[in-house]
Every structure is written in C-alpha cells, then in structure tokens.
Amino acid sequence: MKSICADLVLQRLAPDAGAALNRQLYDCLREAILDGSLPPSSPLPASRDLAREIAMSRNTVLHAYAQLQAEGYVHSRVGSGTFVAATTPESQLSAGRARAAAPEAPAAVRLAKRAQALVADAAAAPRQWGAFMPGVPDVTQFPHRTFGRIVSRLWRAPTPDLLTYSHGGGHPALREAIAEHLRVARAVRCNADQVLVTEGVHQAIDLSLRMLADPRDTVWVEEPGYWGFHKVLQMDGTRVRALKVETGDDSPEAGWPHGGTPPRLIFVTPSHQYPLGSVMSLARRRALLDHARASGGWIFEDDYDSEFRFAGRPIPSMQGLEPDSPVIYVGTFSKTLFPGLRVGYMVLPRALAAPFRTAHADLYREGHALTQVALAELIDQGHYAAHIRRMRVLYARRRALLAGLIATHLGPAYLHPQASNAGLHLVLQLPEGCDDVAVSQDAEAHGVLTRPLSRYYRRKSAQRGLLLGYACVQEADIEPAFQVLLGCLKRARAA
C-alpha cells in the first residue's frame, strides 16, 4: 500500500511539465502542505520509500526535501525522519490580508500649515514627457545598453559594500570621477573628499538649509527663481528675500534686498539663470562672493544644466573664481543623463565637508552604491563626456528650430532678450497683460506642455511668458506642437 504522501504526489504531478523533476516534486509537496493535505507536524515518508513509491530517483526526492527544509516547510530530526513544520513560512510572512480601501472620499486630516501651503500650490508637473516640457532631456538617447552592460556585470558578483547602507557621502569611485569631471568641464576647484553624492538638487537644498539656517534666518533667492528652491524653503521656515536678476546694464548690487539681517544662504544659478537663461556678470559674482565672505554666509550655486552651452566658451563656475570660495557648488545628472536616475552632487567648502557628510548619512541614509559605481565607470570610460557632446549638437539643433519658428511666426521680440544660447528650454516672452497661466492651461488641454513664466516670481509685477522645453522633443514634432501653441495664443489675443 502506498503512503498518503505518495498518493498525493501521483495525483498532482503533471505528466509533462517543463520543470525539473525535483522542482515538480517540491511544488506538489509544498502545495499539499499549504492546502492542509499534509497537516502540520505530520511525518513525510523516508526518501528511499517515497522514491520507490513514485518511481523517481532517491536523489530527486532528497533535493525536493532539502529545498522544503531550506524554506521552512519541513524539518528533519536525526534518527526520526522528516516532518511538516508546525507553521508555514507564509503564515510568518503575512499579518493577514487587509481589504483594499473602499473608493470613498478620504476623511479630512489636519496637515501642518507649511504642508497645507505646499500641497495647495504644488508645482511638480504630473506629465514629464512631450512637447514642450521644460527641463527634461531626451531620455531616449541615454546609452542604456552600455550602462546596462556595466550594471549587469556588477550584479553578477556584488560585494556586500554595494548592498548595505552606504556611508561617507557617496561611493569613492563616483566622488573621484565627479571631481575630475568638474575640474575639467566646470573649472570647479575640488578634491573627491569635498564631493557629496545626493539624490538630486532638492536634497542638496534641504541639507544646506538644515545645516546652515535656523528657522526664521534670512536667505536670498533669485527672482525669478527655480520653484524647487521655494518649495524646500517653504518647509524649512526661513525668511525669504528676493534677489532680483540683473537686467544687463545695472550695477552689480541693483535689486539686492536692503537692510535686515544678512543672508545665511544665497540661492543662485549664475551660469544659466533659471528660468530666464541669462549669465550672471563677473562683477555681480564678485560682489556676491565679497558679501558672503564679509557676513559669514554661503552661496548655493545651482549649476543644473551648464554642460549644454551651444555658442562661445563654457561659463566657468562661480565656485572656481576664488580659492576657498564660500560656495556650495551643486550639480545633477538629471539633465545630462536622465532625471529618474536621482543622482546629483554637492562640492562643499572644506570646512563644511565633514559635518555635511555626517548629517547626510544620519538624515537620509545613503544607498544606491551599485548605481554609483556603474555611473563612475560610465564617466571613467569616456561614455559620459561623449554622450554630453552628442546631446549638445542635438539640443542646439532643436533650439535653433524652435527659436526660428518663434522669430518667423511671432517676431524676434517674443524671444526673451536676456537668454543665452544654452540649456534645455527657452522663454517665449508674452505681451504685458497676457495671462500666461491661462495660455499654458489651454495649451495643456490641447496636448502641449509649457510652464508660465509668471509662476517663477513672488511679486505681482511678474513678466509674462512661457517656458518651452525643446530638448525632449523630436525634431519632427517641434513644428506641429508649435502650431498648436500659436492657436492658443490667437485665442488668448481674441479673448
């Protein structure tokens, strides 16, 4: 007479399943344990007996038993045999299945005041791809095969340090590669020990604020300025004062906040002002550096897209203007590679490097070491510089195409006069009184993404315009999307 176990196996074993025999036997026994056909603590036949009863080799049965034991479905006692475990591994992993929440309106909650303001005026766009999404590079061009090859090689034998919590401000290989790239490409004065790898510019803003400004301390932010500065500042409770962007012929200190306490931090985008696209004059750079030195404050230099300059020589970083400058230089791979990577970097003045590294590890817990090593290889093997060179040519063509359409259909006055030939977007200037928010909404309703320029100002007397990203738009799609936009502008004029 066959054992119950053998009967169960013979009933359940599919005659022609593709998997190896020991895997099929393991599946049958596991299923029987889970559905209670083999109850907790019941004995399994000796491997030799089961093998004979189901006409398999003893090795096959031993393999299946070993796998069940390794996963905790059975245990064996020397001299007495193999038994079904009292509790299944599944029951130890699950706290009982919860029901999916009913689709009713969630109850009102009281958010912190700062969070209420943030949520009520959220700025991050839900759609991030398509004409004319500003700030997004052409991610389809990323050398994913090369990167994939590096990543899969590293995954074949990852060392423990690539998989545990990291510590020390980023993997040394990446910090070294970033330092070398920045010294050459951006004239940044730095060593690898000043580099701290972040999850992007927003994390760098947050860390700098937490480390250098107490609530109600003063900070200066460019006006107009990057919305990300304001969002993080809003949550950190600092006093924000507007540092107006130069208009070209004014003195270096025109538009600076007057009176009040000196700023702990000054947030600027000197090489390519965001959003207008201008370049900060040397006189203003020096004046800001002097001001920060004299008052014990720091300059936060957001150098988010300076690799993409299409005419003239690159604009060197502000950090590199002077030795030991009071500048926190910040960059990102979001624009040069792809935003979803979430890797950026800070170059810290020497005095700040160690405390920032410690705080970074304590506040955010570091990781992604494997990605960081892969990125370091991409840079060291020259693929990163080659990708930037290729993208520079591509983006320059796209920019010229879009600028040409604006000049032809609307006139050169619609191109922002301060813009330099660089970056991933340009600003379409609109006549005063034109509601750029309404035009942007109308365009979105017709499938074209833009950002209204007035949203980058805190003052009411904002300039009107639209930020048009060209980098992520295939050349063939630029003119059709622009025609849609022309239709929106016509409707706005008629309204």
Give least dist CB 142 to ligand PLP, A: 15
**What is the residue-wise DSSP string for 175-223?**
HHHHHHHHHHHS-----GGGEEEESSHHHHHHHHHHHH--TT-EEEEEE
In the complex, what is the shortest distance from the CB of residue 276 to ligand PLP, in angstroms, rounded to a whole number? 11
> Nearer Cβ to ligand PLP, position 238 or 332?
332
Peptide bond into 314 cis (omega under 30): no
Q: Which is nearer to ligand PLP, 73 or 304 (CB)?
A: 304
List the one residue from 332, 371, 440, 454 that touches ligand PLP (CB under 6 A): 332
Contact flag: residue 423 with ligand PLP (CB under 6 A): no
Tokens of 192: 């690898």
Secondary structure class of 170 (helix, strand, coil)? coil
Instruction: Indicate whether 308 belongs to the interface with ligand PLP (CB under 6 A).
Output: no
Contact present, 297 and 218 (Cβ < 8 Å): no
Residue 428's φ and ψ, nearest 5 degrees, are: -90, 115
Considering the complex, state which of residue 26 and residue 304 has its C-beta at the smaller distance from ligand PLP: 304
At its nearest, how many Å lie between ligand PLP and the CB of residue 303?
A: 9
Closest approach, Cβ 236 to ligand PLP, in A, equals 16
Nearest Cα residue to 417 out of 226, 243, 246, 225: 246
Near ligand PLP by CB under 6 A: residue from 88, 218, 271, 334: 334
Which amino acid belongs to residue 227?
W
Which residue number, 304 or 482, has a Cβ lying nearer to ligand PLP? Answer: 304
Minimum CB separation from ligand PLP for residue 158, in Å? 26
Among positions 30, 175, 189, 202, the unique one binding ligand PLP when judged by CB under 6 A: 202
State yes or no: residue 307 binds ligand PLP (CB under 6 A).
no
- The nearer residue to ligand PLP, 67 or 336, going by C-beta atoms, is 336
Q: Does 137 contact ligand PLP by CB under 6 A? A: no
Q: CA–CA separation, 23 vs 362, rounded Å?
A: 45
Q: Does 201 bind ligand PLP (CB under 6 A)?
A: yes
Nearer to ligand PLP among residue 124 and residue 494 (C-beta)? 124
Does 228 participate in binding ligand PLP (rule CB under 6 A)? yes
Please count the CA atoms within 13 angstroms of the CA of 331 that sit on its side-chain side.
25
Asked whether position 135 contacts ligand PLP by CB under 6 A, the answer is yes
What the block records as the tokens of 236 is: 């950190």
- Main-chain phi, psi angles of 260, to 5 degrees: 75, 180
- Verify binding: residue 339, ligand PLP, rule CB under 6 A: yes
CB of 463 to ligand PLP, least distance (A): 17
- DSSP per residue over 267-324, as a string? EE-TTS-TTT-----HHHHHHHHHHHHHHT-EEEEE-SSTT-B-SSSPPPPSGGGSTT
Residue 138 tokens, joined: 């052409």
What is the rounded CA–CA span in Å between residue 297 and residue 385? 34
Kindly state whether residue 200 participates in binding ligand PLP, applying the rule CB under 6 A: yes
Q: How far is the CB of 235 from ligand PLP (least distance, A)?
A: 15
| Residues in region 263-282 near ligand PLP by CB under 6 A | 269, 274
Helix (H, G, I), strand (E, B) or coil at 397: helix
Do 65 and 47 touch, CB atoms closer than 8 A?
yes
**Near ligand PLP by CB under 6 A: residue from 26, 267, 304, 482:** 304
Which one-letter DSSP state was computed for residue 461?
S
Q: Which is nearer to ligand PLP, 217 or 303 (CB)?
A: 303
**Residues in contact with ligand PLP by the rule CB under 6 A:** 135, 200-202, 226, 228, 269, 274, 302, 304, 332, 334, 339, 344
